[in-house]
């Protein structure tokens, strides 16, 4: 349960709209990312924030959003009211905080932001830290039965790790965010395993995890559940089988989420739910219903036809390899157009190398936010690719140009960043 709401007004009581609150959080800390739990824990304690419902924390390089969606869908099919916190958003900030399958309202978020600000004092929170506390306040105010929290970066020092989970999941371990997490899978695995807790289930969906996963689990006394050893997902055609311990669920429905790796994510979600069934019982039928319904925007999402428009937030080589695999599995009769933009702190050359053999025309634009790669930067990385390279002033202009030039039998693949996919989603919503 949370402590009573503060009766005093926050210092920024004049802030009214969600947009104004978000702008306010951008001014509180000199850095966008500042790894560590001390500051955000101080504000949590000042708020008296102690969630009285089970939490599932989900870490990993890729697959976090899909796993969160499957967990929530299965729990909601069982009749629970679930809070889900994910990041980043594609179009609207509200997407990050969902209750019962619906995005939190502006008012709910503003009320929660005001409470965080009232408790913050002079503590300089980053936007993500501020938003994490606000999301939990929304869930407490909404009276959820459980919450699923996606780690923003790493795990050990991520803001969501200030809360005690009933179960933790690590989906995959690959090279990404090396400046903060390290330059090897061993180092990155160590950071992600930081969400494990003593005597609590720790699920790993990576089929070949670094040794640091098992080592940290043993050091913490967590109950490691490793895919391929403690549970499995065996696919045969459109159906698949999940097995864990003495349980064997056959003829499970196909996922709406495309890609073979999604079945590993689904299996990790089922393993997590089985491991905490004493807290949150879920029937096999509810699990099947959840598996059938789970979707995530921007993960090989087919957003339009003739030409086919595919949206995929792939922003590192591991995700780009899965995108390439999905594209090869569904060849088209015409050209493949890319609408492409990335952040400069990502492995841009690694992503391009994996997709280059599949792309006929690159429609490229820079990302204007602080971490965005410019058009000039991207042109440099694309020098020598097999397809034509066309530059544009904005991602929306790049998409509209590709759509106007493409033939009905062609396909347009939008990838490289959440920002890239979000910009094109906005264009589609506007009829572009």
Q: How far apart are CA 288 and CA 275, in angstroms?
A: 17
Residue ranges matching CATH 3.40.1190.10 in the chain: 18-293
Say which CATH architecture domain 301-429 belongs to. Answer: Alpha-Beta Complex (3.90)
Helices 418-429 and 395-405 sit at what angle, rounded to 10 degrees?
60
CB 249 within 8 A of CB 284: yes
Instruction: With a cut of 70, list the residues of the chain below it in pLDDT.
Output: 1-15, 176-181, 432
CB 146 within 8 A of CB 82: yes
Question: Residue 4: what pLDDT?
Answer: 42
In angstroms, the Cα distances linking 332 to 302, 310, 388, 408, 425 are 13, 12, 18, 10, 22
Q: How far apart are CA 226 and CA 218, in angstroms?
A: 13
Q: What is the pTM of this model?
A: 0.90
Task: Tell me 10's DSSP state.
Answer: P
Question: Residue 3: what pLDDT?
Answer: 40
Q: Pick the closest to residue 41 from 137, 154, 158 (CA basis).
A: 158
Continuous H helices in 330-374: 348-355
Phi, psi of 24 (to 5 degrees): -60, -45
Per residue in 142-186, pLDDT (tens digit) is: 999 999 999 998 899 999 999 999 999 999 898 765 565 677 999
Q: How far apart are CA 62 and CA 65, in angstroms?
A: 8
Residue ranges matching CATH 3.90.190.20 in the chain: 301-429
Secondary structure (3-state) at 313: coil
Question: Residue 6: what pLDDT?
Answer: 44
Q: Count other Cβ atoms within 10 Å, centred on residue 88.
A: 14
Q: Say whether domain 18-293 belongs to CATH 3.40.1190.10.
A: yes
Continuous H helices in 294-407: 317-329, 348-355, 375-382, 395-405
Q: Pick the closest to residue 395 from 357, 356, 369, 358 (CA basis).
A: 369
């Amino acid at each position: 349960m949370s402590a009573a709401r503060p009766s005093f007004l926050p210092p920024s009581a004049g802030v009214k709209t969600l947009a104004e609150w978000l702008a306010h959080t951008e001014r509180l800390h000199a850095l966008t990312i500042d790894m560590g739990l001390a500051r955000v824990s101080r504000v949590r304690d000042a708020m008296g924030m102690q969630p009285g419902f089970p939490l599932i924390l989900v870490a990993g390089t890729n697959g976090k959003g899909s796993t969160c969606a499957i967990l929530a869908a299965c729990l909601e099919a069982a009749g629970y009211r679930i809070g889900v916190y994910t990041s980043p958003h594609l179009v609207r900030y509200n997407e990050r905080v969902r209750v019962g399958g619906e995005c939190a309202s502006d008012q709910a978020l503003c009320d929660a932001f005001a409470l965080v600000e009232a408790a913050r004092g002079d503590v300089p929170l980053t936007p993500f830290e501020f938003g994490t506390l606000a999301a939990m306040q929304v869930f407490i105010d909404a009276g959820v039965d459980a919450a699923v929290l996606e780690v923003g970066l790493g795990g050990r020092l991520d803001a969501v790790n200030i809360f005690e989970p009933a179960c933790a999941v690590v989906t995959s371990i690959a090279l990404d965010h090396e400046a903060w997490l390290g330059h090897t899978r061993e180092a990155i695995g160590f950071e992600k395993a930081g969400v494990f807790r003593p005597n609590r289930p720790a699920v790993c969906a990576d089929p070949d995890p670094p040794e640091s996963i098992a080592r940290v689990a043993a050091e913490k006394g967590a109950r490691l559940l490793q895919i391929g050893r403690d549970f499995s997902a065996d696919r045969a055609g459109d159906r698949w089988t999940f097995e864990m311990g003495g349980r064997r669920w056959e003829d499970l429905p196909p996922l709406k989420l495309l890609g073979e790796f999604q079945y590993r994510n689904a299996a990790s979600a089922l393993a997590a739910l089985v491991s905490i069934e004493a807290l949150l019982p879920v029937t096999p039928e509810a699990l099947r219903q959840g598996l059938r319904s789970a979707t995530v925007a921007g993960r090989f999402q087919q957003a339009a036809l003739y030409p086919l428009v595919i949206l995929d937030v792939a922003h590192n080589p591991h995700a780009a390899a899965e995108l390439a695999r999905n594209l090869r599995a569904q060849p088209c009769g015409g050209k493949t157009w890319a609408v492409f933009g990335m952040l400069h702190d990502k492995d841009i050359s690694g992503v391009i190398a994996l997709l280059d053999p599949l792309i006929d025309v690159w429609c490229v634009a820079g990302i204007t936010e602080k971490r965005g790669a410019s058009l000039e930067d991207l042109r440099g990385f694309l020098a020598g690719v097999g397809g034509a390279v066309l530059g544009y002033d904005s991602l929306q202009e790049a998409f509209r140009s590709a759509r106007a030039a493409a033939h009905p039998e062609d396909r347009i693949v939008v990838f490289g960043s959440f920002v890239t996919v979000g910009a094109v989603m906005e264009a589609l919503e506007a009829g572009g």
